[in-house]
Amino acid sequence: DQQVKQNSPSLSVQEGRISILNCDYTNSMFDYFLWYKKYPAEGPTFLISISSIKDKNEDGRFTVFLNKSAKHLSLHIVPSQPGDSAVYFCAASGSNTGKLIFGQGTTLQVKP
Amino acid sequence: DGGITQSPKYLFRKEGQNVTLSCEQNLNHDAMYWYRQDPGQGLRLIYYSQIVNDFQKGDIAEGYSVSREKKESFPLTVTSAQKNPTAFYLCASSIFGQGAEAFFGQGTRLTVV
């Protein structure tokens, strides 16, 4: 059973526009959510996180929104840049363990 | 400078052989993790360790073994019992606690022929 799901395998947007990446989860015990960015043949790098007590967290061009009732989170990138082209993973963790459960990833392509 | 190091970057082994992937960190993190990435399946947790001399199975531990004799090191052995070992393996570490971000190594691409 997939506890964290990213249902869109890929997304293509024009440079300067908004990119919205979505993530759904099933385990109500998750209380921290993180987004990672990954280039091919490299390890993921941390982007931004949000605690379940918040509904929004912003860091520069990146904003994460959390809707606990819908068990849904999204990552907004504004404005999108060609260098943002990568695979984006959402991840979740519960309060009793630090282990992260990852989604399948969404490949973002930002076209110049 | 601090970081997490995986070696080697590429590894080739014959079917039926055990192989050990190295992971070292100098971030003074308590927790370490091993993930496997396959196309279209994201990152799946193999094993994790929250403290020296202790580790727990993740979602896909069968055919793998680990040890945590030192805080800095968390080697992963891919045994001959692992049915489909060819994959990209990622090691990570974090401070132990709620919401702690994990720092990843550069990964090891294992190919079994």
C-alpha triplet B95, A6, B10: angle, nearest 5°: 60
pLDDT tens digit sequence for B32-77: 999 999 977 789 999 999 999 999 999 999 999 999 999 999 999 9
The answer to whether the Cβ–Cβ distance between A43 and B97 falls below 8 Å is no
The answer to whether the Cβ–Cβ distance between A105 and B42 falls below 8 Å is yes
The percent of residues in chain B predicted with pLDDT above 70, rounded, is 96
Cβ-based interface (< 8 Å): residues of B facing A? 4, 6, 31, 33, 35, 40-45, 48, 50, 58, 88, 90, 92, 94-107, 109
The answer to whether the Cβ–Cβ distance between B42 and A46 falls below 8 Å is no
pLDDT of residue B27: 94
Report, as an integer, the average pLDDT of B6-16: 92
**Local structure of A84: helix, strand or coil:** helix
Residue of chain A nearest B99, judged by CA positions: A32
Longest Cα pair distance anywhere in chain A, in angstroms? Answer: 44
pLDDT tens digit sequence for A49-107: 999 999 999 999 999 999 999 999 999 999 999 999 999 999 998 766 678 899 999 99
